[in-house]
């Protein structure tokens, strides 16, 4: 009983099965996977296959002592984690640094970008302020209506039932407005300092990534590319989908100052600028 039957079989494990096992071990924090190994593949949980959208899996080829990322579903969708002397194609890390550099802003444009963004945020705050004022006016009016209602009941101009129905109706509206006031949009305090920090980081984003530890790298990656980045194996490049809009807007804004890229990026910036304020909190965390 319970003795394993020795079968007449050869242990066959395909490369993809091997990779799957590695993936399971990575998730298991019981010490199977040394931290150093995971550190070697910071793009795990970020890199996805452009062909099938699956997350690519990082693994180490023990014989060659090299790290790779691979899509478990698509043949040919794999790449070296790091550059080697032998490898003809760019490594995952090298392409990633190039991608980050695209989001980097030239120092000379920082003051201009800061000015533009300040204008944008002030506009946003102004609109908020106006919304708040409108809500306040409405709130006051409703409170006056309730008071008037009580007086009319007191004077015997309406009966108790009419009072109750009207009061319930007014109270519902008061509750609704209170909710909206409480949901007031994020107030950006100390905009100057926030922008200064965010822009400073964007001047050096690829270097910052390079010097960060695994945890910091992952936060930065997730913030910049919330949907991941997609490896297009055929062209050996990364594609992005919906990167952080604050960062994208800055990059477009920065491009708009370059004479030869001006028209296109200005258009895109104007389209994306409307959503910028919601994203600044995120960018400041990078």
User: Which positions from 69 through 108 interact with Zn ion, judged by CB under 5 A?
Assistant: 71, 73-74, 77
Q: Which strand ranges, in their side-by-side order, compose the sheet holding 78-80? A: 57-61, 66-70, 78-80
Residue 33 sits in the site that holds Zn ion (CB under 5 A): no
Residue 229 sits in the site that holds Zn ion (CB under 5 A): no
Do 59 and 49 form a contact (C-beta atoms < 8 A)? Answer: no
Q: Least distance (Å) from Zn ion to the CB of residue 80?
A: 17
Interacting span for Zn ion (CB under 5 A) from 68-76, 89-97, 174-182, 221-229: 68-76
| Tokens standing for residue 223 | 């913030």
In this complex, which beta carbon is closest to Zn ion, that of residue 103 or of residue 231? 231
Do 68 and 81 form a contact (C-beta atoms < 8 A)? Answer: yes
| Tokens standing for residue 208 | 């910052």
Selected binder of Zn ion within 22, 51, 128, 166 (CB under 5 A): 51
Interacting span for Zn ion (CB under 5 A) from 65-73, 142-150, 159-167, 261-269: 65-73
In this complex, which beta carbon is closest to Zn ion, that of residue 35 or of residue 241? 241
Q: What is the DSSP letter of 90?
A: P
Q: Least distance (Å) from Zn ion to the CB of residue 53?
A: 7
Residue whose structure tokens are 């909206």: 180
Residue 52 sits in the site that holds Zn ion (CB under 5 A): yes
Do 158 and 151 form a contact (C-beta atoms < 8 A)? Answer: no
Do 283 and 247 form a contact (C-beta atoms < 8 A)? Answer: yes
The binding site for Zn ion (CB under 5 A) comprises 49, 51-52, 71, 73-74, 77
């Amino acid at each position: 009983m319970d003795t394993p039957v020795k079968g007449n079989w050869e242990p066959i494990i395909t490369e993809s099965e091997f990779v799957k096992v590695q993936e399971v071990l990575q998730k298991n924090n019981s010490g199977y996977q040394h931290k150093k190994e995971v550190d070697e593949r910071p793009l795990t949980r970020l890199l996805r296959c452009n062909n099938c959208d699956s997350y690519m899996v990082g693994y180490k080829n023990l014989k060659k002592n090299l790290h790779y990322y691979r899509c478990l579903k698509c043949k040919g969708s794999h790449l070296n984690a790091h550059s080697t002397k032998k490898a003809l194609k760019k490594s995952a890390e090298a392409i990633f640094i190039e991608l980050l550099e695209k989001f980097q802003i030239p120092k000379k444009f920082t003051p201009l970008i800061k000015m533009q963004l300040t204008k944008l945020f002030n506009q946003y705050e102004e609109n908020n302020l106006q919304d708040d004022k409108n809500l306040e006016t409405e709130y006051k009016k409703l409170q006056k209506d309730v008071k008037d209602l009580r007086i009319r009941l007191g004077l015997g101009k309406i009966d108790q039932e009419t009072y109750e129905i009207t009061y319930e109706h007014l109270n519902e509206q008061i509750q609704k407005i209170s909710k909206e006031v409480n949901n007031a949009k994020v107030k950006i305090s100390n905009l100057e300092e926030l922008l200064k920090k965010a822009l400073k980081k964007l001047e050096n984003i690829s270097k910052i990534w390079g010097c960060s530890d695994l945890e910091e790298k992952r936060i930065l990656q997730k913030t910049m590319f919330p949907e991941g980045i997609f490896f297009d194996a055929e062209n050996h490049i990364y594609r992005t989908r919906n990167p952080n809009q604050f960062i994208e807007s800055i990059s477009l804004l920065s491009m708009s100052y370059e004479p030869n890229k001006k028209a296109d990026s200005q258009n895109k910036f104007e389209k994306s600028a409307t959503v910028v304020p919601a994203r600044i909190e995120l960018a400041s965390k990078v």
